[in-house]
Structure 1
Amino acid sequence: MSYLDRIRACNDGDTRRHHALFAAGHLVGWLQPGFAHALRRWPGVFRAGGGAVWVREDLGGFESRSRAVDEVVRACVEEGLIGHYLDERYPVTPGRREDAVMWLDRGAAARFGIRAFGQHLNGFVRRDDGLWMWVARRSDDRRHAPGKLDNLVAGGLPLGLSLQENLVKECAEEAGMSPALARRAVLTGMISYLAAHPMGLKPDVMYCYDLELPQDFAPRCTDGEVAG
């Protein structure tokens, strides 16, 4: 499979087959038709019609809106409409993270088709015979891509943490890096994509980093996500 094939595989989502989700007057996500219909059971939180679903405007501000939707998410997890509740808040935004209008549990991100943000870091070592890269292998107990190869560090970007704060945290958890070493990472760009998912859509943004590591550095996973 070529790189172009990989790019195409990451952009196989189609919003035309989904219902738009609005919150605070903004388009913030995309819902599979069946799930959009299921949300009609909570008329105090959502209103639906014309191929779209709105988080009700009379729910109040950021926090009250978020908590009302969160109650629905928890009920959907109990009923099997959403796979897992992960107790990690993701921003729900029409654009930038800073423009979030509410939060949503990470486990419901694809179901609601919201834009999720992540950080992936390539760690490399410069030697006399060229550049060598550390490649991680995901643990076999991961729900997503178990046993597959991965960046040295990769993680989601929750609400309330800056890019640097979250990167330092992920580097410590997945590679045993010190904060000083992690802060030397260089942001090389961002990748956006629209991927189909069994639960819905993933219109996500990935922040990409490079980090030159000392030759004697050896990564050490502390959170169980990486097998080796």
Structure 2
Amino acid sequence: MANSAWSEKIHKLLCRMNNFYLPGSCRADCCKFEIDGVQVGWIPPHVASLLTRYPEVFCPPRDGAVSLCHSLDTYERRSKAVDAVLQTLRQNGSLTCLKGWRDEKFSVMPKFSDPPLLWMERAATSLFGIKRFGVHINGYTVSDSGEVSMWLARRSPTKQTYPGLLDNVAAGGLAAGVGIKHTLVKECQEEACIPAAIAEKAQPVTTVSYTYEDEEGVFVESQFVFDLELPLEFKPRVGDGEVQDFYLLPIDKVKELLASDDFKPNSAMVVLDFLIRHSFIEPDTEPFYQEFVAGLHQTL
């Protein structure tokens, strides 16, 4: 593939994963989602109209914002009240994202370092444009001659999202109340049978952040990224069934695959960031270098 064609495809991927910022997105029509006057999300118009049916939980839209009722003044009360609404919306079946209900609790807060204001079912977070956090691990090897290769996972064909696509060696969402390093070790063990003694050597290197919209809502996501150099003799193994296979590939092949439709989009972004940080993509030869860097670190 010609370098210019590869660059164009990667640039389009980053634009797609940040389409909430582009002209023509629903951003101008979204309501801010506020709790005690602090914004924690973005509610698309079709969702805001549904929430008016639940005035005991959500105040009517005012000044471009939907707020939780002030009587819901604790973490527990907010979480219970919002979950009851979501369970009702799930029963009537009109919102497709709720058909993927996971029974996973995600924390809702303005910034990651802030105390959570409530928890929300993971499948519903896109209805409120809640910031979602996860952990992604770049598993790689360095040969005796210095050649870098990367371990990629092939997602199970039965996965709820992006079935059968290429992925990082391990990754997972941050559930409410669970730490980053704990999630990293757990996902490495469960998905790739990487022992804790190896997983704990992973180095935190950056975050990759982006915001996109689709028919299911607004996805405001930030991934905590780790690099994990794996021993040359170690081979990841299929663990909990979320992955069907693992491949150890040279970096040139990994780079080529990034521009294909065979890669989970946000995981492709994580690998792109690895290629930039390890100087496999350089500003003298990559015309979109600045756009790549900016597109990997978009925050609202």
2:49 pairs with 1:49: no
- In structure 2, C-alpha distance between the alignment counterparts of 1:189 and 1:103, rounded to whole Å: 25
**1:157-211 superposed Cα distances (whole Å, 9 cap, x missing partner):** 1111111111111111111111111110011101111111321111111111110
Structure 1 equivalent of residue 15 of structure 2:
8
Aligned to 1:198: 215
Give secondary structure in 1 for the equivalent of 2:204. Answer: strand
Where does structure 1 lack aligned partners over 5 or more consecutive residues? none
Match of 2:257 in 1: none
Residues in 1 aligned to 2:58 and 2:171: alpha-carbon distance in whole angstroms = 34
3-state secondary structure, aligned to 2:177:
coil
CA distance in structure 2 between the partners assigned to 1:128 and 1:87 by the alignment: 45
Contact conserved, 1:22 with 1:54, CA < 8 A, in 2?
yes
Task: After TM superposition, give the deviation of residue 76 of structure 1 in Å.
Answer: 1.2
Change (3 A) 1:197 1:99: farther
Which entry has the higher C-alpha Rg, 1 or 2?
2
Q: Secondary structure at the match of 2:182?
A: helix
Letter in 1 for 2:59: R
Q: TM-score, normalised by structure 1?
A: 0.95
Distance 1:123 1:148 in 2: 17
Answering whether residue 143 of structure 2 is matched by residue 127 of structure 1, we say yes
Mapped contact 1:91–1:97 kept (Cα < 8 A): no
Deviation, structure 1 residue 4:
2.3
Distance 1:214 1:70 in 2: 44
| 1:67 matched residue in structure 2 | 80
TM-superposition CA deviations, 1:43-98 (whole Å, max 9, x none): 11111223321111101301111111011111111112233321111111111253
Q: Which residue identity lines up with residue 218 of structure 1 in the other structure?
A: K
Determine what percentage of the aligned residue pairs are the same residue: 37
Matched, 1:32 2:44: yes
Q: SS of the counterpart of 1:78?
A: helix
Q: Which amino acid aligns with 1:52?
A: A
Where is the strand percentage greater, Structure 1 or Structure 2? 1
1:115 aligned to 114, 128, 131, which one?
Answer: 131
- Give 3-state SS (helix, strand or coil) of 2:235's partner: coil
Query: Which sections of structure 2, spanning at least 5 residues, go unmatched?
Result: 1-5, 246-300
Q: Which AA in structure 2 matches 1:122?
A: N
Q: Is the 8 A contact 2:212 2:220 kept in 1?
A: yes
- Number of the residue aligned with 1:103: 119
Aligned position for 1:178: 195
Letter aligned with residue 103 of structure 1:
W
After superposition, what is the alpha-carbon deviation per residue over 1:132-169, rounded to whole angstroms, capped at 9, x for unaligned?
A: 11011111111211111110011101111111111111
Cα distance in 2 between the residues matched to 1:105 and 1:166:
18
Residue 25 of structure 1 deviates from its aligned partner by: 2.3
Q: Secondary structure at the match of 2:244?
A: coil
Distance across 2 between alignment mates of 1:57 and 1:74: 21
1:49 & 1:165 partners in 2: Cα distance?
39
**Could you say what secondary structure the match of 1:44 adopts?**
coil
* TM, length-normalised to structure 2: 0.73
- Aligned residue number for residue 276 of structure 2: none
Alignment-mate amino acid for residue 155 of structure 2 = R
Distance in 1 between residues matched to 2:227 and 2:99, nearest whole Å: 33
CA distance in 1, matches of 2:32, 2:236: 42
2:71 is paired with a residue whose SS is helix
Residues 110 and 197, structure 1, Cα contact 8 Å, conserved in 2: no
Q: CA separation in 1, counterparts of 2:33 and 2:149?
A: 44
Between the aligned partners of 1:161 and 1:179, the Cα distance in structure 2 is: 16
Q: Which amino acid aligns with 1:106?
A: R
The alignment covers a number of residue pairs equal to: 228
1:65 counterpart letter in structure 2: R
2:32 maps to which of 16, 20, 42: 20
- The aligned residue for residue 227 of structure 2 is 210
DSSP-derived class of the 2:59 partner: strand
Question: Following superposition, which runs of at least 4 residues in structure 1 exceed 6 angstroms of deviation?
Answer: none
